[in-house]
Amino acid sequence: MFLSKEEEAMLKGDHGAGSQKAMELLVAIGEAFDAPKMIPVTRAHAASSGQEGDLFFVEMLAKGGARCKIPTTTNPVVNFEYFQNIIDISEEHAEASVAWKVKQHYKEIGAIMSQSCIPYLAENIPQYGEHVAFSESSATPYVNSVIGAFTNRESIQTALAAGVIGETPEFGLHLKENRKGTVLVKVKTHLRNGYDYSILGQYVGKKVGNGIPVFDGIGKRPSIDQYINLCAMLNVPGAIPMFYIPGFTVDAETLDDAFAGNHPQDVIEVTDRDMKQTIEELQTTSGDVDLVMLGCPHYNLDQLGVVAKLLDGKRLRPNVSVWINTSETTKTMADRAGYVKVLENAGANLVTDTCIDMFCFNNMKGKTGMTDSPKCAYYRRFGNVRVGSVEECIAAAVE
């Protein structure tokens, strides 16, 4: 791979050990994928997970003096302030201490502590045609397909390295010729709501594995939360960095535009039966629930409005808890809209800065939970799981 004098100097460590480590990783990736050179990226999103693998790299960069060169946002980990009064964090000492250190290092390195898994709606919004480095399941396909920015499917570490260097190796989805559809998906089921889009994503992600699906038969523009759900769930059982819904997502009015001369490697049909079977595979029980977990990915303002309406004037059944995860930015707006008061009056827990896959939810082990998210079902910290739309989840929780 060609490196400029400046890049060579970084690789040699002339700009410090932190930048050197970041550059080493980017060059290793570039060489693995035969990238001819590095290209500039102008924003990054590191899907910080607060776990040991995350700590390993961010600590190395922070101690080596690296600092973010471009706006670099972070994923939810744990809101320590919120949970200190709810659970005994000291009991979970090992996991808590790793998560704590991770957050300190991201701050030190100059990352933006957005702690949101949908940064592309508020804190870090790429523009059409912008080259970026976005990790996080829903973020990668959202910015490629819905916004039309260019990013590869990044790991936390490659996204963070790009944030520090301000560059990424030129390969994969940064090149137009690699952004063509590969698999045709014929949707033969009616998609009613965001939950249906989640189930669609789960089914198609599993069927396609790796590739760029092109959806046919979705006759209506998806809403933002429907897009978010589809993007996230495609990357639970699969690794799907981009997709097309011709007429609605970017750069394709027709199926032919989306395939751009490619012959589909495969044709998949999605029927009512496939949707029903996918739901059955996700559920481990149909019994009473102890808790409802929403906001995986984080709920946006529209979704908080919906759940506030559902809970308005309602009371939760005894011993049932409702947890809604969102970002601090969204909560601020939800407060102004009056949603927060409604949710609090109903007894729901509105949590910011936190991921459902964290130790702060370990005390739910053995309980039965319900969620509208197959991703949450997969990474859950609670016991048995039911899935359903947000309306069904709330109906299961209220008197």
Partner 1 sequence: MPNLTLSCHRIVKGYGEGQALLSKDPICFCTADPKTGVIRERGHQLMGKSVAAKVLIFPSGKASSAVQMDGLCKLMLNNTMPNAMVVADVEPVLVSAAALLKVPLVDRLKRDPFEVIEAGDIVKVDATNGVVTVVKPA
Scanning 5-13, 25-33, 142-150, 265-273 for contacts with partner 1 by CB under 8 A, the matching segment is 25-33
CB of 32 to partner 1, least distance (A): 4
* Contacting partner 1 within 220-279 (CB under 8 A): 235-236, 239
Q: At what angle do helices 194-208 and 272-282 cross, to 10 degrees?
A: 90
- CA 316 – CA 161 distance, rounded (Å): 45
72 contacts partner 1 (rule: CB under 8 A): no
CB of 356 to partner 1, least distance (A): 13
- CA 343 – CA 306 distance, rounded (Å): 11
14 contacts partner 1 (rule: CB under 8 A): no
Among 23, 25, 187, 342, binds partner 1 (CB under 8 A): 25
Residue the block writes with tokens 């600590």 = 59
- CA 47 – CA 134 distance, rounded (Å): 8
CB of 249 to partner 1, least distance (A): 22
CB of 96 to partner 1, least distance (A): 16
198 contacts partner 1 (rule: CB under 8 A): no
CB of 206 to partner 1, least distance (A): 11
Residue the block writes with tokens 């309602």 = 314
39 contacts partner 1 (rule: CB under 8 A): no
Among 18, 71, 141, 172, binds partner 1 (CB under 8 A): 172
CB of 370 to partner 1, least distance (A): 23
52 contacts partner 1 (rule: CB under 8 A): yes
Amino acid at 306: V
49 contacts partner 1 (rule: CB under 8 A): yes
Among 19, 20, 54, 346, binds partner 1 (CB under 8 A): 54
* Contacting partner 1 within 122-161 (CB under 8 A): 135-137, 152-159
Nearest CA among 210, 226, 227, 198 for reference residue 173? 210
Scanning 20-28, 185-193, 335-343, 361-369 for contacts with partner 1 by CB under 8 A, the matching segment is 20-28
CB of 86 to partner 1, least distance (A): 24
Between 34 and 399, name the residue whose CB sits nearer to partner 1: 34
353 contacts partner 1 (rule: CB under 8 A): no
Between 114 and 152, name the residue whose CB sits nearer to partner 1: 152
Between 97 and 210, name the residue whose CB sits nearer to partner 1: 210
Q: Which residues bind partner 1 (CB under 8 A)?
A: 24-25, 28-29, 31-33, 47, 49, 51-54, 56-57, 135-137, 152-159, 172, 210, 235-236, 239
